[in-house]
Amino acid sequence: MSIHFVYEKLKSRVPPDGIKLDEQMSEHTSFRVGGPADIMVLPANVQQLIATLEICRQNNCPYYIMGNGTNLLVRDGGYRGVIIKTAANMNDCRIEGENVYGQAGILLSTLSKHIADAELEGFEFASGIPGTLGGAVAMNAGAYDGEIKDILEWARVITSDGDILSYSKDRLEFGYRKSIIQKNDLIVLDCGMKLKKGHREDIEGRINEYTRRRKSRQPLHLPSAGSTFKRPEGHFAGKLIEDAGLKGARIGDAQVSELHCGFIVNLGRASAGDIISLINHVRKVVRHKFNVELQPEVKVIGEP
């Protein structure tokens, strides 16, 4: 597989401003770390996304679909292949009555504003979750007792064979931070949600309250990928980490947040290697002290 050959093929299907070479992934992830991707494609529509996937598959070129990079850690050596970033352009939404349509690349914060303007309630929990709608559907994102599965009606996906299918909520096999999207390597294109009419003051009040809680309890002033670990059954990851004596623990400029131990943050000059080493250290200590296996919520890709 020649990256140059793949690049030339992509240029025939995607406009020049939609393709980047040797793109530093530190510019595209909330951790602000990561080496270069050989190629980054910013598809403007579904057709360009499908064309990019076809070219990658036909030429056995590795690829990775990303949203806004808020749950992604790219190793320092970068990514050998094509990164396809949907958040750049595939971000349309439409609201008709109580029905909401959104493309995979729209930011949850942006969609939340549109939904609040339409005086629909039920999406407030997602207003402060970083990332895109597609990523939220794939992992059944949630907060403050709400989850995507509670409001989703259907999702349209691309299969590993390149087929476009529509899945009803019942077929998506939602669980805690998981779905059939991840299990079967499906790619979310867009989805439909069902909300209900509410009062704008009440909706904005809940959004403001959730925002206040996040600002007071989470290290939003530092680069991170949000909660680093999934919630282990019967426990809270942050409490286990704090009880293990790891609050403020550092490797290089990667640190277990002193504000919320469930977050690993970049103090400024952390490398991806620092962050990965700290994740592994935290897992080892918690396993030794409490016999609990912490599972990372952040996705790690790329070369060391």
| Residue among 86, 94, 97, 151 nearest 124 (CA) | 151
Amino acid 73: pLDDT: 98
Residue that is written with structure tokens 């282990």 in the block: 232
Confidence band for 208, pLDDT divided at 50, 70 and 90: very high
- Helix 200-217 and helix 108-117: axis angle, to 10°? 150
Question: Which regions of the chain carry the CATH code 3.30.465.10?
Answer: 93-216
63-110, pLDDT tens digit by residue? Answer: 999 999 999 999 999 999 999 999 978 999 999 999 999 999 999 999
Whole-number CA gyration radius for the chain: 20
Amino acid 224: pLDDT: 97
Confidence band for 2, pLDDT divided at 50, 70 and 90: confident
Amino acid 161: pLDDT: 83
Residue 205 has pLDDT above 80, yes or no: yes
State CA 50 to chain mean position distance.
20
Our CA angle for 158, 161, 162, nearest 5°, is 45
Amino acid 295: pLDDT: 96
Confidence band for 245, pLDDT divided at 50, 70 and 90: very high
Amino acid 137: pLDDT: 97
Amino acid 145: pLDDT: 87
The full DSSP string for 91-134 is --EEEETTEEEEETTSBHHHHHHHHHHTTEES-GGGTT--SBHH
Amino acid 1: pLDDT: 63
Instruction: List, in order, residues 6 or more apart from 166 with CB less than 8 Å away.
Output: 154, 155, 156, 157
What kind and span of H or E run contains 32? none
Classify domain 3-85 at the CATH topology level: 3.30.43
Residue 224: DSSP 8-state? B
Over residues 25-38, mean pLDDT:
98
pTM for the whole structure: 0.90
134-170, pLDDT tens digit by residue? Answer: 999 999 999 998 999 999 999 999 998 889 999 999 9
Instruction: List, in order, residues 6 or more apart from 131 with CB less than 8 Å away.
Output: 67, 68, 70, 71, 107, 108, 141
The full DSSP string for 11-57 is HTTS-GGGEEEEEEGGGTSTT----EEEEEE--SSHHHHHHHHHHHH
What kind and span of H or E run contains 214? helix 200-217
Q: Are strands 63-66 and 79-85 parallel, antiparallel or unpaired?
A: parallel
Q: Which residues are catalytic?
A: 177, 227, 297
Q: Residue 271 and residue 137: Cα distance in Å, rounded? A: 29
| Residue among 228, 156, 240 nearest 192 (CA) | 156
Over residues 53-61, mean pLDDT:
95
Q: Residue 302 and residue 304: Cα distance in Å, rounded? A: 7
Classify domain 219-301 at the CATH topology level: 3.90.78
Average pLDDT, the chain: 95
Amino acid 194: pLDDT: 97
Residue 277 has pLDDT above 90, yes or no: yes
Percentage of the residues of the chain whose pLDDT score is greater than 90? 94
Q: Residue 48 and residue 41: Cα distance in Å, rounded? A: 9
Over residues 123-133, mean pLDDT:
93
Question: Which regions of the chain carry the CATH code 3.30.43.10?
Answer: 3-85
Q: Are strands 254-256 and 196-197 parallel, antiparallel or unpaired?
A: unpaired
93-216: CATH class: alpha beta
Amino acid 75: pLDDT: 98
Q: Taking a C-beta distance cutoff of 8 angstroms, is the pair 157, 103 a contact?
A: no
